[in-house]
């Protein structure tokens, strides 16, 4: 039976949804009926975006109440799940049966449907974002019927990072690979010169690397290196990474404090899904009382972009909790923030100070403008979206074709994408 409630706010409380109601159906059939009967309706995942991306003047539809129904196809090497399923659920099921995903974001609490809709990413020079694992999607069309889009279909590359504009997704099929083990080590004390001169060495130090900084410190900050390891081997990581030294201790938060919500550090080997995310599923991720912003630039200009942000360290510092630098491999998904370019991600976790953050965002966007930044769709930004997404025009045509009456559009899509 469908649950109906007021829509509430985003996870971090940064946006109060203006939709008239939140509908949480228990089955796909119920969701289809709700879509057919509404004039304006948009999907909501686990609310981890920070802006009004999901909002609509009509109804919000969360598919998080539908059973995950995890189906592993070992021949095709795929897993198919309900779109409202959290990554933690899919990952645990896969790990228990000896399978894995290629990567995870910083937290496993987000839904597969919501994360892949916005090109959510983890890190790793050779790792595409989470959307690149998508092999098929099942959408609810405006008339309530089901519509499948599979890898190889003409509309596939335009349909994976869809921002909810193509209708609710009921089921997502993801590529899987044999399960693997991983370890996580942290380093501290990297000089700024080493970061600027040897950025490739730093980001290539492991399977997935995150560099945390507050910009205004004498050395860069903490570096988290997640490395895949063989089943039997437990090689010791090198004690130094350029000028940085490996920490023997465990459990630092991204801001460098002792924390109990992070995944195991200090080199202990564990299953892939218990090392790749920063945060444990059984704990509150991140600070909670925060705002986030992120921009992706081409790897070719990465060092200059980092230097540019560092030049305004004093102006971002008052609003900043921490910055995280990660890398993502290029892909061909039209609205992906890594479309056509290997990318450096420059992320800001801000204090919950909306006015100071708004001022800092203007400053950051000003100094990053020469580097053609692409903002993360689900985080706060002020810049207009234009030529930096070269397939935006094609995406608008796809939206017009699949949703001619605008049932799945909302204020964000109209303002930012001009669909
Ligand atoms: C603490 C924290 C850490 C984060 N870490 C990362 C990170 O490491 N990397 C990163 O890239 N991002 C990160 N994010 C951002 C987050 O991953 C994205 O905003 C993601 O889209 C959130 O997924 P969600 O399920 O909460 O989706 P929501 O925020 O609820 O929705 C996002 C979009 O997806 C659409 N959508 C959701 N479900 C469906 C569906 N079933 N069918 C159709 N459309 C749907 C919505 O309409 C909306 O457009 C983080 C956010 C937080 C709060």
Residue (of 257, 261, 273, 125) closest to 199 by Cα position: 125
Please compute the mean of the pLDDT values over residues 77-90 and round it to a whole number.
98
**pLDDT tens-digit readout, 379-402:** 999 999 988 999 999 999 999 999
Cβ(11)–Cβ(48) below 8 Å: yes
Give the pLDDT score at 251. Answer: 56
Q: Is the CB of 336 under 6 A from ligand 1?
A: no
The proportion of the chain whose per-residue pLDDT surpasses 70, expressed as a percent, equals 97
The pLDDT of residue 139: 99
Atom of ligand 1 nearest to the CA of 63: 41
Q: Which two tokens stand for residue 289?
A: 């009382």
- The predicted model scores a pTM of 0.97
pLDDT at residue 88, rounded to an integer = 97
Give the mean pLDDT of the chain. Answer: 95
> What angle is formed at CA 55 by the lines to CA 66 and CA 332, rounded to 5 degrees?
80
- Ligand 1 atom closest to the Cα of residue 117 is 34
Ligand 1 atom with minimal separation from the 345 CA: 11
pLDDT at 1: 81
Identify the CA nearest to 376 among candidates 292, 312, 310, 315. Answer: 292
The pLDDT tens digits for 237-246 are: 678 999 999 9
What is residue 232's predicted lDDT score, i.e. its pLDDT? 47
CB 56 less than 6 A from any atom of ligand 1: no
* CB of residue 347 inside a 6 A radius of ligand 1: no
Residue 42 Cα distances to 105, 162, 168, 393, angstroms: 24, 12, 7, 22
Residue nearest to atom 52 of ligand 1 (CA): 48
pLDDT band at 250 (very low <50, low <70, confident <90, very high): low
Whether 117 lines ligand 1, by a CB cut-off of 6 Å, is yes
- DSSP readout, 326-368? EEE--B--TT-TTBTS-EEEEEEEEES-HHHHHHHHHHHHHHH
Asked if residue 14 has its Cβ within 6 Å of ligand 1, the reply is no
Q: Best mutation site among 19, 55, 378 for ligand 1, i.e. most ligand atoms within 8 A of its Cβ?
A: 378
Work out which ligand 1 atom sits closest to the CA atom of 46: 26
Q: Which of 82-91, 143-152, 222-231, 267-276 has the lowest mean pLDDT?
A: 222-231
The 10 Å CB-count burial string (b at 16+, else e) for 163-172 is: bbbbbbbbbb
For residue 231, the model assigns a pLDDT of 52
Among 7, 45, 415, which is best to mutate for testing ligand 1, by the most ligand atoms less than 8 A from CB?
45
With a 6 Å cutoff on the Cβ, whether 31 touches ligand 1 is: no
In Å, the largest CA–CA distance within the chain is: 61
Q: Say which residue, 250 or 267, is predicted with more confidence.
A: 267
Residue 379 phi, psi (nearest 5): -115, 175
Q: What is the rounded distance in angstroms from the CA atom of residue 402 to the CA atom of residue 148?
A: 12
The response to whether residue 61 sits with its C-beta less than 6 Å from ligand 1 reads no
Place of tokens 């360290």: 313
């Amino acid at each position: 039976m469908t649950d109906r409630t007021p829509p509430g706010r985003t996870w971090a409380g940064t946006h109060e949804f203006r939709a008239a109601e939140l509908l949480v159906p228990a089955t796909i059939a119920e969701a289809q009926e709700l879509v057919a009967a509404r004039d304006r309706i948009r999907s909501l995942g686990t609310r981890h975006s920070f802006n009004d991306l999901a909002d609509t003047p009509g109804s919000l539809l969360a598919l998080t109440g539908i059973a995950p129904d995890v189906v592993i196809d070992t021949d095709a090497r795929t897993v198919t799940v309900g779109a409202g399923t959290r990554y933690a659920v899919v990952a645990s099921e896969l790990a228990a049966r000896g399978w894995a995903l290629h990567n995870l974001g910083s937290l496993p609490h987000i839904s597969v449907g919501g994360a892949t809709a916005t090109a959510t990413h983890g890190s790793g020079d050779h790792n595409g974002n989470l959307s690149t694992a998508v092999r098929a999607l099942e959408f609810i069309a405006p008339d309530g019927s089901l519509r499948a889009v599979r890898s190889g279909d003409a509309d596939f590359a335009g349909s994976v990072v869809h921002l909810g504009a193509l209708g609710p997704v009921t089921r997502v099929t993801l590529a899987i690979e044999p399960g693997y083990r991983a370890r996580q080590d942290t380093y501290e004390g990297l000089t700024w010169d080493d970061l600027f001169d040897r950025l490739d060495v730093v980001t290539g130090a492991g399977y997935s690397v995150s560099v945390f900084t507050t910009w205004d410190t004498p050395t860069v900050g903490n570096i988290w290196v997640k490395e895949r390891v063989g089943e039997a081997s437990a090689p010791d990581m090198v004690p130094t990474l350029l000028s940085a030294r490996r920490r023997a201790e465990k459990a630092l938060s991204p801001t460098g404090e002792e924390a109990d919500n992070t995944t195991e550090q200090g080199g202990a080997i564990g299953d892939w899904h218990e090392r790749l995310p920063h945060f444990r599923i059984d704990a509150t991720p991140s600070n909670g009382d925060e705002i986030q912003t992120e921009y992706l630039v081409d790897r070719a200009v990465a060092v200059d972009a980092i230097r540019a942000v560092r030049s305004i360290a004093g102006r971002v510092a008052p609003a900043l909790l921490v910055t995280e630098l990660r890398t993502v491999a290029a892909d061909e998904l039209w609205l992906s923030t890594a479309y056509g370019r290997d990318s450096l991600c420059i992320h800001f976790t801000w204090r919950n100070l909306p006015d100071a953050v708004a001022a800092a965002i203007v400053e950051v966007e000003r100094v990053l403008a020469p580097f053609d930044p692409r903002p993360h769709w689900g985080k706060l930004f002020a810049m207009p979206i234009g030529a930096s997404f070269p397939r935006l025009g094609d995406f608008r045509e796809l939206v017009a074709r699949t949703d001619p009456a605008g049932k799945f559009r909302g204020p964000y899509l109209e303002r930012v994408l001009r669909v």
